[in-house]
A and B are shown apart, each in its own frame.
Chain A
Amino acid sequence: MAERCDVLVIGAGPAGLAAAAAAAGQGVDVMLLDAQPRAGGQVWRHDIAHRAPRRARHALRRVAAVKRHFGIRVVDADASARMLRVEDALHAREFGWDRLILATGARELCLPFPGGTLPGVTGAGGLQALVKQGWPVSGKRVVVAGSGPLLLAAAASLRAHRARVLAIVEQAARHDVHAFARALWRWPDKLAQAVQLRARLLGVPIHYGAVVRAARGDGTLCGVEIDSAGVSVELACDHLAAGFGLVPDAGFGRLLGCELTAATQPAIRVDALQRTSVESVFAAGECCGIGGMDKARIEGAIAGHAAVGDESVARALFAARDRARRFADAVAHTFTLDPRTRTLADGETTVCRCEDVTLDALRAFHDARAAKLATRCGMGACQGRICGAALAELFGWSWHGHPRQPLFPARLASLADESLARRSCP
């Protein structure tokens, strides 16, 4: 039997928490779902050793009374029946909604480079998530590489967990980052955050205009080769945390039939009130365009208010959202990927690690489908979530032609349950 609610919020990060809080204030029945065992999303992921930031605690308190189901994975959804199926560790179950808010966040962009599949190499956000959950890095030598503000946040978390952060390797040019820093006075809270973050990273060298050319090691990572503005630097290390920014996680929107943007990394298209092209479905936060936590929180609040018909309250937040989006644009401009980051991989470099497909094996093809059929690229456990985003950057390939079911790997038993099917196919 499906559990029904007025407003169903998918994702308990900053956007989803703000949406749930805004909607719940109106006396409607709100429910919050998330894949993780706790609320917070990626940016406010629970840290076993450190207290959550003040804003996170505040956001969590505001939804304390909201019904929630965590540790679930969405299997399938039907926009016309307004139903979705999820599974937890044991069972499949269904939820029905009157209005749905997608706050499914983002994934890290992992571009291929030689040695990128060695044990010891992770995403930057990936390693940050691991250490927050207790992965021991005390005394370990870590290089953090790639691009964007996430590198600083990841490095700060690693340091807080007593890792030795040897270097931050940022592909953006020094003068671009410095110009960005000089413009931060326009967003005083961001300036304060940046100053605080830099203080926590005191003594960590930052290489600008630099990339990791290769990770080295025989069976496991032992060092990296950095190209720092044309100078080659070798560093011995235990971990390499490499992430080239974030890409919207628009998969759920695609499954529901929501229109996506035409960007290299498509996002869910929304109007001013955060409405998607599908009736009664809203989206907020990174899944409708990468922009950071502030943009996500404001968009979440707008979506939450709009979903319960409180348009005037939603509209009152437009100016704040515009400001947050301007900041997001400045970040995106500053950390635009240099073409060099797309040419790090050599012919032997693994691009699809599920199916062991190298760059050379893919070069002969014109599009993703032809490449997939011939090489099985993207046909493994991640279903192109990792390599698809990378190949969109490298070759401009559009990865997913139509919705994927199940949305995440699901037990066959969860697909064989027939109640959702009965509702959607009368």
Chain B
Amino acid sequence: MPAYDLIVAGAGIVGAACALAAAEEGLRVAVVEPGPIGGGATAAGMGHLVAMDESPAEFALARYSLPWWEAWAEEAAAEFRRCGTLWVADDETGMVSLQARFARFAAADVACERLDAAALREAEPELAHDLAGGLRVPGDAVVYPPQVTRLMLDRVNARGGALLHRRKVVALENGGARLDDGTRLAGPVLVACGCDTPALLPELAIRPRRGHLVVTDRYPDWLHHQVVETGYAASAHGDADESVACNVQPRPGGQLLVGSSREYGRTGNAVSMSLLARMLRRCFRFLPGLARCKALRAWTGFRPATSDGLPCIGAVPSRRNVWVAAGHEGLGVTTAPGTARLFVDLLLGRAPRLDPAPYAPLRGMT
């Protein structure tokens, strides 16, 4: 039976980052992926690298992760671009939330700057003229996640790791993994299968949360920052069955990615025209000119969500040599590098630089 120091189930960005961190520690790694590389939530999302701060543990993991992304800035294929995030508010409630965010960023030394209505228009002329204000976070960036995932796996490969592509981990058994072709691999297993994680670990309450995105034709220089309404976090973390928030990203090639929506309890990938319409109208509130832009395609994807909005990272209790890194919902790209370091420290029995307790796999989630 082939033996590895680590078997990673899932070649999304989280699995790939964990495999790379382990390989860099000198571990012999195998990555098992039945579908395309980075073809799940990794491909469905926007690739926004964002200091997200809705809960202290989320903010801590994001801040721990973001510095590692600097290493990808020079890698052309990663399509890294530091566009920054522009949080915008359209009313007084939004301004209160912006002020609170500013205070949290300032306390954590995250560079940011408050913009009044006039400065906002100067920063983004396409923004509606009646917005209340904004907060610019210049350090935030975007990447193209499926490609970064491939690059990470190339590096794993360069360090002697194995990619078992078009194979699937179908069972965890006796301190190893069984694949769909009957092959058995020995060694610790990390389950990083995003929405599919409960198939291997039913004890984990990870639920798919559907989202819609639209990509437009090219409008170079139409928008400069990723523009996110400050209510986005409330939409992301609220437990409503259905919510929308303005989140619009200028891609390096000039296309615009337009989001976002969140739905629980949807299984198919069919676009919901009613929710899409609601989402777009919310975006027009902030960027009225978007209504005239041409949509090339609308699609849906699934985020692996937990009830408290935090990922599950660490050893799975009551299982021998089984680990998990999954449930990052919409923040898996941003937090993949931090997740990987945290996981590897735990795997190697070292004291992690980040308190792992908030991400404990079977913490008291409701």
Contacts and interface: CB of A to CB of B under 8 A. Distances in A.
Contact of A416 (B38, B216, B291, B294): B291
B234 interface: no
Of the listed residues B166, B273, B274, B283, the one surrounded by the most CB atoms of chain A closer than 10 A to its CB is: B273
B39 A415 contact: no
Interface in B159-183: 166
Nearest to A369: B36
Interface stretch (A225-233, A246-254, A406-414): A406-414
A64 B43 CA distance: 50
B273 A420 contact: yes
Interface string B290-311: 1111111110000000000000
Contacts of B292: 411-413
Given A383-B296, A404-B297, A415 B36 contact: no
Contact of A415 (B38, B150, B214): B214
Interface residues of chain A: helix, strand, loop or mixed (majority):
mixed
Given A76-B273, A405-B298, A412 B39 contact: no
Given A373-B36, A374-B146, A417 B277 contact: yes
B274 A418 contact: yes
B93 interface: no
A373 B273 contact: no
Interface in A378-426: 379-381, 383, 402, 404-406, 409-413, 415-418, 420-422, 424-425
A380 to B, nearest CB: 8
Given A374-B37, A406-B295, A421-B277, A416 B284 contact: yes
A367 B39 CA distance: 12
B269 interface: yes
A370 B36 contact: yes
B269 to A, nearest CB: 7
B295 A412 contact: yes
B205 to A, nearest CB: 28
B91 interface: no
A425 B266 CA distance: 14
A425 B292 CA distance: 25
B267 interface: no
Interface string A358-369: 000000001101
B278 to A, nearest CB: 8
A369 B39 contact: yes
B: contact size bracket: 35 or more
A211 to B, nearest CB: 32
A402 B38 CA distance: 19
Contacts of A379: 215, 297
Nearest to A418: B277
Interface residues of chain B: helix, strand, loop or mixed (majority):
mixed
B298 A425 contact: no
B297 A411 contact: no
B56 to A, nearest CB: 34
Interface residues of A, number: 31
Contacts of B297: 379, 383, 404-406
Contacts of B290: 412
B39 A409 contact: no
A415 B280 contact: yes
Nearest to A424: B273
Contact of A422 (B215, B274, B295, B296): B274
Contacts of B131: none
Contact of B294 (A411, A420, A424): A411
Contact of B280 (A405, A416, A420, A425): A416
Interface string B261-279: 0000000010111101110
B293 A373 contact: no
B281 interface: yes
Nearest to B273: A421
Given A412-B290, A415-B276, A418-B277, A370 B298 contact: no
A405 B294 CA distance: 12
B274 A409 contact: no
Given A370-B36, A373-B43, A409 B291 contact: no
Interface in B129-155: 146-147, 150
Nearest to B276: A415
Contacts of B166: 366
A416 B281 contact: yes
Contacts of A420: 273
Contacts of A405: 271, 273, 297-298
A76 B280 CA distance: 16
Of the listed residues A367, A406, A412, the one surrounded by the most CB atoms of chain B closer than 10 A to its CB is: A412
Contacts of B273: 76, 78, 405, 415, 418, 420-421, 424-425
Contacts of B283: 412
Interface in A268-299: none
Nearest to B294: A409
B258 interface: yes
A363 B277 CA distance: 39
A366 B166 CA distance: 10
A373 B214 contact: no
B217 interface: yes
Given A415-B214, A420-B273, A370 B296 contact: no
B4 to A, nearest CB: 24
Contact of B291 (A383, A402, A413): A413
Contact of A374 (B150, B281, B291): B150
Contacts of A421: 272-274, 276-277
Nearest to B39: A373
Contacts of B298: 405-406, 415
Contacts of A424: 273-274
Can you list the 4 inter-chain pairs with the closest CB atoms, starting with the nearest?
A421-B274, A416-B280, A421-B273, A413-B291
30 contacts: A76-B273, A369-B36, A369-B39, A373-B39, A373-B146, A374-B37, A374-B146, A379-B297, A406-B298, A409-B294, A409-B296, A410-B295, A411-B293, A412-B214, A412-B258, A412-B283, A412-B290, A412-B295, A413-B292, A415-B214, A415-B273, A416-B284, A418-B273, A418-B277, A420-B273, A421-B273, A421-B274, A421-B276, A425-B272, A425-B274
